[in-house]
Structure 1
Amino acid sequence: MSSTPVVPFSEPPYLAGLPSPYYKPTHLKWQKAIREFITKHLLENALQWDTEETVPEHVFDTFARAGMLIPSLPAPLPVKWLKSLGVHEILGAVKVEEFDYIHTLIYCDEMARTGLAGPSGSLTTGFSFAIPPILKFGNKQLQERFLPELLTGKKRTCIAITEPEAGSDVANITTTATKTPDGKYYIVNGTKKWITNGIWSEYSSMAVRTGGPGPTGLSMLVVPLKGYPGVNMRRLKVGGQVSAGTTFIELDDVKVPVENLIGTEGMGMRYIMTNFNHERLTIAIGATRQARVALAAATEYILKREAFGKSLVEQPVVRQRLARCGAMVESQWAWVEQFVYQMTQLPKEVADIELGGLTAMAKAQAGIVLNECAQCAQLLFGGNGYTKSGQGELVERIYREVPGIRIPGGSEDVMMDLGVRQLVKNFKNKTKALERPKGSSKL
């Protein structure tokens, strides 16, 4: 048990001194090492940088040089590629071949201790979601051309799927990629919107339409961005996550070599949907920590704030509100931990099927929990929680970030529906597999 008192709800149970079946010594060593690094290089200035709406470029460079962008990739890590680039361990705390999804869980949780999605998202979003399609589906020449600079952070990238008229409805993407008569280039035309990190990115893993309507007409390309002919980018002003570089991209006859095709034409929808599982799980982890930060701040506040002659914590109505949200955040964390453990035990192809729908639901539920906890914290802070400065500043900022969890990465209602549809589909497929073939006498 920990001998140091821990503010209620401020840490996951395993860091509050309670036993857990999930964390091995390597995980505890990792958590200690990265907490020190993240506190020094991100957390101490995160609120200020978010207020200024941009995290300085040197922060990305610091994380890249330390290998601290790599943990944002899906586990297991691309060990062969990393070792070929001279990366054998991260912060001296874990060897790349030993890194599992519980290490990922700890990393995402620690990066979100700022309480804000913008500062960490400005560093990791493009890295985390744009590199995996190249790793999983790109051929040898594509990987050799792009991965050395991307994995080491010498060049930046982003995932570019969403469009003004096609958000969660990925199958209706309209950005086109048409081959030139000589078959050497794709000419890309269209727009992408709400692209995190886009403004800083030399490249993007982009969803484009190479064929007819619907999902079978989609492909993925590595499309050059920053400074490339025909590409125009501008930052978008959004309500939360203001430092993450949300971008509007216009593509006007952008000439892309056919060698930049990721995988096979017409397989883009599969690549995109497979990639979403990692994205949604990491969002769920980060949002759960954001909820925890808000609730812990409120707990500290009600312990010292007095009203009507006694501290707020002595008011039953205050304790009731806090208890309800505390139960939600701890339940959500337990679900996330369970998910991540299952990811370490299941082969990737099995996890995609068995956990895909549930991951969508966990992401949606994380947004609901964050909304409740941020609202609770703001109400308990009172006027201080409605002020953009002072002791309630962080809580006010977190509450503004709630829609940035409930909408991006698949909007809440779509995610809940997808989850149930996937569970029903799995049930029907398993039931069908158990049916006795017609004409068979076998039991």
Structure 2
Amino acid sequence: MNSLYFTEEHQLFRESLRDFLNKEVVPHIEKWEKTGTIERFIWKKFGEMGFFGIRYPEAYGGLNLDLFYTVIFLEELQKIKSAGFAAAMWAHSYLAMTHLNAEGDERIKQEYLAPSILGDKIGALCITEPFGGSDVAGMRTTAVKKGNKYIINGSKTFITNGVFCDYYVIAAKTSPELGNKGISMFLMDSNLKGVTATKLDKLGWRASDTAEIAFDNVEIPEENLMGEEGKGFPYIMQHFALERLIMAINAHARAEYAIDYTIEYMSQREAFGKTINKFQALRHTIVEHATDVEHCKLFNYAAVARLDKGEYVVKEATMAKLKSTKVADETIYSCLQMLGGYGYMEEYPLARLLRDSRLGPIGGGTSEILKEILSKMIIDNKDYKPAVKH
């Protein structure tokens, strides 16, 4: 336990969450990995336990806890052999719901945030498009005002929870001619006429449903605009620091899980008359990875502590995701190697872990894009600023 950041209350929360996951989630993981559908009852159980309300206001049923409870939530979810299940939970709780809480008005908070905290409604955040992944400003989905409605046309892709969710938080262009200054955020029920969601077949994250969604003249009421028209881009950017830190924490946690599992395996596996944890080449490899993971973890914790105080940590969060996802992939690759032929077998966790981990350097901003953002900050002295609140 790192007492610099975690109190005894944090530790008790970790233990109760771990018990809950082992009892309520682990027995169903293999089924959900095969079907690609997480059954509704588990969302409700997460809601009843308060896990979706960790960082949200008490007024809507949340617990209003510090960000290190979120860290624990994310870390433990990485250790139950399904990053896909974990993704479904945190994409609901921290991508879709973050926008509801930050930009939603009182009605939206009562009708969508409160039921989301309870696990009665599931949300999906829709930003990425088929024609422009990391190029948020180049999106083509439009929202045209007509009387007291907006008409939405376009498509989104790689949307976690996109098939089975109840609502979408959507970025669309209200003034396409203004580029990134013409993007707005909207709330849309997923069952509306003109919405088509198609499930995507993925290398990993197989328990989570990931969709491509098409919007064909979908009508939504004008009060479903979230925040101010034209402010979508700064809203999205504002929340990217949290999303990147989430993915960094996920990365260090799954790498740690891989190391722990591999050390345990090495202590039992024998070759040439001794357990393989006695072979220097393997010992040194594990130690190097453990050192890298520990560095990432401490850097990630420091960035979370600053974000929790309200600091703008876009640079640190970007560095955290860039480094941690790379370290996780390298660590898991090596750990699979340590298991030899068993590492390649589906009944051992490393094969799935390797596939699931590969999304780390892609989702939430590719490593290449993150390097370009950091280049602008470090080399060109560009200063990114948080969205201005009016």
TM-score after normalising by structure 2: 0.93
Deviation at 1:362, TM superposition (A): 0.5
* Separation of aligned partners in 1, 2:108 and 2:354: 41
* 1:60 matched residue in structure 2: 43
* Separation of aligned partners in 2, 1:153 and 1:20: 32
Q: For 1:233-279, what per-residue CA distance to the aligned partner results, in whole angstroms no more than 9, with x for missing partners?
A: 11100111011110110111101111100111110001111122211
The count of aligned residue pairs is 384
Residue correspondence of structure 1 range 7-26 to structure 2 within 5 A? 14=1, 20-26=3-9
* Separation of aligned partners in 2, 1:288 and 1:428: 28
* Separation of aligned partners in 1, 2:31 and 2:85: 10
Moved over 4 A (4+): 423-430
Q: Output the amino acid matched with 1:228.
A: L
The one of 232, 240, 258 equivalent to 2:196 is: 232
Other structure's SS at 1:321 match: helix
* Separation of aligned partners in 1, 2:203 and 2:247: 17
* 2:18 matched residue in structure 1: 35
Structure 1 stretch displaced more, 259-268 or 124-133: 124-133
Q: Contact 1:157–1:205 at 8 Å: present in 2 too?
A: yes
Structure 1 stretch displaced more, 138-147 or 169-178: 138-147
Does residue 216 (structure 1) correspond to residue 181 (structure 2)? The answer is yes
> Where do 5+ consecutive residues of structure 1 fail to align?
1-13, 88-95, 431-443
Does residue 266 (structure 1) correspond to residue 230 (structure 2)? The answer is yes
* Separation of aligned partners in 2, 1:425 and 1:70: 40
The one of 57, 61, 68 equivalent to 1:102 is: 68
* 1:364 matched residue in structure 2: 322
Other structure's SS at 1:200 match: coil
Deviation at 1:386, TM superposition (A): 1.1
Q: For 1:396-418, what per-residue CA distance to the aligned partner results, in whole angstroms no more than 9, with x for missing partners?
A: 10011122111011111211322
Does residue 254 (structure 1) correspond to residue 212 (structure 2)? The answer is no
* 1:78 matched residue in structure 2: 57
Q: Contact 2:172–2:185 at 8 Å: present in 1 too?
A: yes
> Where do 5+ consecutive residues of structure 2 fail to align?
386-390
Over 3 Å counting, the alpha-carbon distance change for 1:256 and 1:45 in structure 2 is same
Over 3 Å counting, the alpha-carbon distance change for 1:429 and 1:409 in structure 2 is closer
Does residue 399 (structure 1) correspond to residue 365 (structure 2)? The answer is no
TM-score after normalising by structure 1: 0.82
Deviation at 1:428, TM superposition (A): 6.7
Q: Output the amino acid matched with 2:300.
A: V
Deviation at 1:422, TM superposition (A): 3.4
Residue correspondence of structure 1 range 16-415 to structure 2 within 5 A? 20-71=3-54, 75=55, 77-82=56-61, 96-97=63-64, 99-180=65-146, 183-213=147-177, 214-225=179-190, 227-344=191-308, 346-347=309-310, 351-352=311-312, 355-389=313-347, 393-415=348-370
The percent of aligned pairs where both chains have the same amino acid is: 28
Deviation at 1:20, TM superposition (A): 2.9
Which is greater in Rg?
A: 1
Q: Output the amino acid matched with 2:26.
A: L
Q: For 1:291-320, what per-residue CA distance to the aligned partner results, in whole angstroms no more than 9, with x for missing partners?
A: 111111111111111223332122211112
Deviation at 1:81, TM superposition (A): 2.6
Deviation at 1:192, TM superposition (A): 0.6
* Separation of aligned partners in 2, 1:23 and 1:321: 29
Q: Output the amino acid matched with 2:246.
A: T
Q: Contact 1:208–1:218 at 8 Å: present in 2 too?
A: yes
Q: For 1:5-40, what per-residue CA distance to the aligned partner results, in whole angstroms no more than 9, with x for missing partners?
A: xxxxxxxxx1xxxx6322222212222222222221
Aligned-residue Cα RMSD (Å) equals: 2.0
Deviation at 1:125, TM superposition (A): 1.1
Q: Contact 2:92–2:161 at 8 Å: present in 1 too?
A: yes
Deviation at 1:44, TM superposition (A): 4.2
Q: For 1:371-409, what per-residue CA distance to the aligned partner results, in whole angstroms no more than 9, with x for missing partners?
A: 1111011111111111223xxx21010011122111011
Q: For 1:322-362, what per-residue CA distance to the aligned partner results, in whole angstroms no more than 9, with x for missing partners?
A: 11111111111111121222233x32xxx22xx11210110
Q: For 1:198-257, what per-residue CA distance to the aligned partner results, in whole angstroms no more than 9, with x for missing partners?
A: 1111211101011024210111110221x3100011110011101111011011110111
